[in-house]
Amino acid sequence: MTAPHIRKMTRDDWPEVAELIHVSTNYWYESNRNLRIFPCRPDEVELFCRVYEDLDPGCCLVAEHPETHRIIGSCFYHPRRTHISLGIMNAHPSYFGMGVARRLLQEVCRIADEEELPLRLFSSAMNLDSFSLYSRSGFAPYASFQDMFLEVPAEGLAVTVPGVNHVRDASLDDLAAIVNLETELAGIEREKDWRYFLENREGIWHVSVMESPAHELIGVLASVAHPASRMIGPGLAKDEEAAAALLLVELNHHAGATPVWLIPTQCRSLSQTLYSWGARNCELHFGQIRGGKADFSGVFFPTFMPETA
């Protein structure tokens, strides 16, 4: 096959891109890990196109087959003041290993280099195809994360943790403090993402914040409830105790369901608390960066929708 044609996604492409994400991800994980990542219908995966076009219009690239003009690859990128992040990346299974993802990634790297911004992403530590793709393009891991899941009982978790009474629903009045906390703990800024969750026009987001007794913001945690994505994150907390309190509250917003979330692997006491609630591991991820340095203090909860960190 000659090189695919790389172009921006249009509104008419949404159904094809949703099907591509659905079949590509399910095919890879079913073949390699016996997991079905998207048990939902293919059209429900249009959520990715909708959310990402809301946040970053024109920032989805598709790879078109040079002869059939079918879409055989897609990826989303998210320019922010401090960095550019790369969201979900897919090649069609019939074209795995033919350089489709490499071509898309080359284009995103070119944009990041032009803007002189670091590129960041989260890639599975259990998927050598994606790890190698990014590693060959100059990405290096800066931290590892464990993916956990838990079936939350319909009546909520019958546990408590210190500080849980200091967690409350967030509002737009918290926006500036949330943005400052992320800049302080993770060195990145993504004001429009937090505004988007807090405005919640889709009715699928929930955000909790935690304050110290002196009313200083010490943590924030968002979550999404949709057939194509039921994840807790993004979020940040100054310490593991605050992270546990925020997680408990967000988990109870998913009573009767089985959300997934990621925590840094070095958070020993947090992981022990979560195991004691019945949480189990389902994957491992690396936070990766190209063209800069990344670090965070406290607890950082990445997510895949939107993958803007």
Ligand X SMILES: CC(C)(COP(=O)(O)OP(=O)(O)OC[C@H]1O[C@@H](n2cnc3c(N)ncnc32)[C@H](O)[C@@H]1OP(=O)(O)O)[C@@H](O)C(=O)NCCC(=O)NCCS
- CA pair distance 8, 58, nearest whole angstrom: 6
217 is a site residue for ligand X (CB under 6 A): no
Q: With contact defined as beta carbons under 8 Å apart, do 208 and 167 qualify? A: yes
- Tell the smallest beta-carbon distance from residue 302 to ligand X (Å): 12
At 121, give phi and psi (nearest 5°). Answer: -165, 170
String of contacts with ligand X for each residue 135-164, x by CB under 6 A: -x----------------------------
Of 56 and 283, which has the nearer Cβ to ligand X? Answer: 283
Cα(134)–Cα(161) distance, integer angstroms: 39
Query: Using the rule CB under 6 A, is 19 a contact of ligand X?
Result: no
Query: Is 130 near ligand X (CB under 6 A)?
Result: yes
Nearer Cβ to ligand X (124/223):
124
Binding span for ligand X by CB under 6 A among 99-107, 205-213, 265-273, 290-298 = 99-107
Q: Confirm or reject binding of residue 62 to ligand X (CB under 6 A).
A: no
Q: Which is nearer to ligand X, 8 or 136 (CB)?
A: 136
Pairing relation of β-strands 260-264 and 280-290?
unpaired
Binder to ligand X among 6, 35, 64, 102 (CB under 6 A)? 102
| Residue 48 near ligand X by CB under 6 A | no
Q: What is the dihedral of CA 76, 89, 309, 163, to 10 degrees?
A: 120
Q: Is 24 in the site for ligand X (CB under 6 A)?
A: yes
Decide if residue 123 touches ligand X (CB under 6 A): yes
Structure tokens at 37: 């990542």
Residue 181 CB neighbour total at 10 angstroms: 23
By the rule CB under 6 A, 98 interacts with ligand X: yes
Closer residue to ligand X, CB minimum distance, 273 or 303: 303
Residue ranges in 137-231 assigned as alpha helix (H): 175-186, 191-199
Q: Which of residues 17, 18, 59, 101 is near ligand X by CB under 6 A?
A: 101
- Residues numbered 258 to 277 that lie near ligand X (CB under 6 A) are none
Kindly give the residue spans of alpha helices, DSSP state H, lying in 189-259.
Answer: 191-199, 240-252
Residue 232 CB, nearest distance to ligand X (Å)? 19
The strand pairing partners of 64, in sequence order, are 5, 71
At 281 the three-state DSSP class reads: strand
Cβ-contact 109, 270 below 8 angstroms: no
Which residues are at the interface with ligand X (CB under 6 A)? 24-25, 28, 89-91, 96-102, 123, 127-130, 132-133, 136
